[in-house]
A and B are shown apart, each in its own frame.
Chain A
């Protein structure tokens, strides 16, 4: 069965510092990959997605992610974090029938001022 792993449960960065959130997937072929962000008590907002083609994808709010097939990874990056980026981030993949999403357990980002 496919799975998505986010190894970091919590990450703390200083405002203005760079950020990288890790995501690994397990699937034989190339899955569709997504990053979502969730503020407390809210729904999920799509940041970016990868289906095929260019392995570096740009998203909203200055985020980008790079698909690396050799490492089965799809890490999320931002060059300079803002205090408003504090939230929970979820990586997800879509490979099954019905376009079901498999989610990682999430990474909680804290931003220190």
Chain B
């Protein structure tokens, strides 16, 4: 079974531009989460989508948005890029979380390295 894929792997943008990152989850996984990883802040949760609905949202400004399609693929968009948005953006997918008893593991993609100049 193919793993989580993210495109592009590397991206260079300039301040003020906008960017769209893509994530294809493992087949059958309907939950997709996005994380931002920086040396200073570590891994921070951006948002989670399940069945095309945003289920959780982290503490990021409105410039960060996302969506999920009917095939569970997800995109995140960052508008008006700032230097501080330079980071590794990780996507993770999982089966729908069970109501009781147990937790489905999140599988991570390789990430998209975004550099803002």
A and B held together in a complex:
no
